[in-house]
Amino acid sequence: MISDRDQQEQVRRFVLAFLGACGAQTDGRRIRLPRVLARQLQVDEQLELSFVPTASGEAECITYGHPLLDRMIALSIRRGATASLLCVRALDPEFLHLVFQDDPFSTAETDNRQFAWLKRTLRRVSFSKSQPRVVDRSLSYHVQLLFGFRVALISDETRERLMFILMDPLTESADSPVDITEAISFVPVTDGSTGPETSFAGDAEPLETLMSRANEEFPTHAYATLRLYRKACQILEDRLQKELREFKAEVDRRLKEDLERIETYYAGLAQEALDPLRRMFRQMAASSVRVQLARSFESETRHTKQLHLLRQRAQALEADYKEEAEQLRTEMVRRRNELTAKYQTRAEVRLISCAAVRVPRLTFTLRFGDPAFRPVTLVYDVLRARLVDHICEACEQPLSAARFCECGDLVCSDCFQSCADCGRDLCQSCASSSCHVCGHLLCSDCGKTCSWAAMRSSSSVAVCTSCHHEICSLCLRLVCGIDEW
């Protein structure tokens, strides 16, 4: 829930930004609008605005819901749906200077926060016994797509919110958000690609229907963007599920209460409609008894006549009842439909903006003194202060702290081990075997063969020296009755 004060502050910032963008001249509360804008906003060119409801004087107080604000909002919404942004201001010149001049792997202290953070991040990559040397470094901008959605949960009330999803085209997954307040507009040279000429209008539809329509209408070069958009929508839908569940549960509770009330009411009415018929049946029963108990022919005839009359009236009443019951049923269905329409829930999603956000990335190429290690490229995301595309080459999980193994693979701590015998750095893929007893990795030069297993099969089973001493010797003694192989 937003407080009134916060909302008013939002209004103030928006109005001032809008007037600034439209070229209005502001002098305190007094504002001079360009003629075209004044016409669009349906106000005089000279304006006096305030944002404090209690302010005295002639100034027009702009608050949430004010028609002038509504017109400004309407004008703003018509523009600005797409943008191309370059997050260049996030880069501190001193930081850049240090990146290109200094050694990011050195342990020397630095006063620059960004550079210190870079060093800390790089230090988390351990290169075993080899010291890396930066042979190349470059700055590039990686394009990500920022989709802005307006989501409305609609029932007998509407709740709306904005959701932004920043998609990475390489991983096709949502990346963590970046602060774009310091970004600048950047319009790249156009390659002549265009969107479809069609105008898209109509009722909201499921994502699949929308996307199949888009695939038909959009040119082939749009495929990657559409695919990314679809992924973003899927992520959005996943993120919405919890909120939707809560919203629907609330609405369903209200609907259930109302439906119960309606059904009880109409059931009661139907019962009451039966009352005249019930009374008639009671009269008929009494009359029938009278016929049976009649002592004379005359009284029997009289009662039979009466019973006959009552039967006729009962038939009429039954017809009336049927008609009334039908009416009640129709009315109840109408009321139910009214309620169902009132409490019908749905979520509507509209893409309000799409921006190409160019995020700065530093690329370092490293070489090592040990010729066994291949050159390594590390990519550092400056805005998010993390290494990107940095996955364990053994298990392919994101790599927070990495180490080089003997064969030159960058692996995570989980995949990294030392040879149980000689202590060489190994990963799962470059180890030749693992100890049959304790599971530790063994390099190609180390390890012994399990004697007992060797006796039973032709294939050799490795064990580490330690296990060989502790377990295999015992095994030989106990099972084979020999002290030494």
Partner 1 sequence: MVMQILHDPGSLEVLSNFLARSYDSKQWYELKNAAERLSLSRGFDRLVSLDALDIELYEHQREAVLRVLRDMRGRALLADEVGLGKTIEAGVILREYMLRGLVRSVLILVPASLLSQWHLELTEKVRVCVPVGRTPASFEKQQVIASLDTAKRPENAAVIHARRWDMVIVDEAHRLKNKRTVNWKFVNAIEKKYLLLLTATPVQNDLSELYNLITLLQPGQLKTYSQFKQEFMLDKHSPKNLSRLRELLSQVMVRRGRREVFIHFPRREVRSMAVPLSGEERSFYVTMVDHLRRAYRAQPANKRNLLPFLLLLRETCSHPAAAGATLQAMRRARGQKLLPEAALVELLELSHGIQPAKLRLTMDVVAGLRQEKAIIFTEFKATQEALAAACQRAGVSAVMYHGGLDGRAKQAAIEEFRCSSQVLISTEAGGEGHNLQFCQTLINYDLPWNPMRLEQRIGRIHRLGQQRPVLVVNVVIEGTIEAYMLYLLERKIGMFTKVIGELDIILANLKAPYERVIAEIALDSRDEPEMRERIEAFGRELTEACHTYERVRRLNAQIFDAESQTLELEA
Binding residues among 225-244 for partner 1 as defined by CB under 8 A: 225-226, 229, 233, 237, 240-241, 244
- If you write DSSP's letter for every residue of 440-464 in order, what string do you get? -EE-TT--EE-HHHHHH-SS--EE-
The overall longest dimension of the chain from CA atoms, in Å, is 132
Q: How far is the CB of 174 from partner 1 (least distance, A)?
A: 17
* 66 near partner 1 (CB under 8 A): yes
- State yes or no: residue 52 binds partner 1 (CB under 8 A): no
Q: Does 351 bind partner 1 (CB under 8 A)?
A: yes
> Which residues is 31 bridged to in the sheet?
26, 47
| Residue placing its CB nearer to partner 1 in the complex, 351 or 395 | 351
| Segment lying near partner 1 (by CB under 8 A), choices 111-119, 134-142, 145-153, 431-439 | 145-153
Q: Quick check: 355 binds partner 1 (CB under 8 A)?
A: yes
CB of 321 to partner 1, least distance (A): 16
Residue 200 or 297: which CB sits closer to partner 1? 200
Helix (H) or strand (E) holding 67: helix 67-78
Quick check: 41 binds partner 1 (CB under 8 A)? no
Q: Which of residues 20-39 bind partner 1 (CB under 8 A)?
A: 20-21
Closest by Cα among 476, 411, 465, 413 to 438: 465
- Smallest distance, partner 1 to C-beta of residue 377, A: 31
CB 372 within 8 A of CB 425: no
Q: Which of residues 258-297 bind partner 1 (CB under 8 A)?
A: 261-262, 264-266, 268-269, 272
Task: Enumerate residues 72-111 that contact partner 1 by CB under 8 A.
Answer: 72-74, 76-77, 79-85
CB-nearer residue toward partner 1: 337 or 397: 337
222 touching partner 1, by CB under 8 A? yes
Residues 156 and 147 sit within 8 Å (Cβ to Cβ): no
CB of 156 to partner 1, least distance (A): 6
Report DSSP state, residue 379.
E
Q: How many CB atoms lie within 10 A of CB 295?
A: 7
Among the residue ranges 70-78, 307-315, 421-429, 441-449, the one whose residues contact partner 1 (CB under 8 A): 70-78
Query: Does residue 114 contact residue 362 with C-beta atoms inside 8 Å?
Result: no
Structure-token pair, residue 141 = 């901008």
Query: Which H or E run includes 87?
Result: none
Shortest gap between Cβ of 257 and partner 1 (angstroms)? 10
**Contact between 217 and partner 1 (CB under 8 A)?**
yes
Residue from 12, 142, 248, 313 in contact with partner 1 (CB under 8 A): 248
Using the minimum distance from each CB to partner 1, give the nearer residue, 79 or 295: 79
Report the 10 Å Cβ neighbour count for 401.
11
From the list 16-24, 297-305, 363-371, 453-461, the region that binds partner 1 by CB under 8 A is: 16-24
Does residue 95 contact residue 76 with C-beta atoms inside 8 Å?
no
- List of long-range contacts for 232-239, beta carbons under 8 Å, 24+ apart: 232/145, 232/147, 232/165, 232/167, 232/174, 233/207, 233/349, 234/207, 235/165, 235/167, 235/173, 235/174, 236/149, 236/151, 236/163, 236/165, 236/349, 237/207, 239/163
The SS3 of residue 55 is coil
Of 365-384, which residues contact partner 1 (CB under 8 A)? none
Residues 175-214 that bind partner 1 (CB under 8 A): 180, 183-185, 187-188, 190, 193-196, 198-207, 210, 213-214
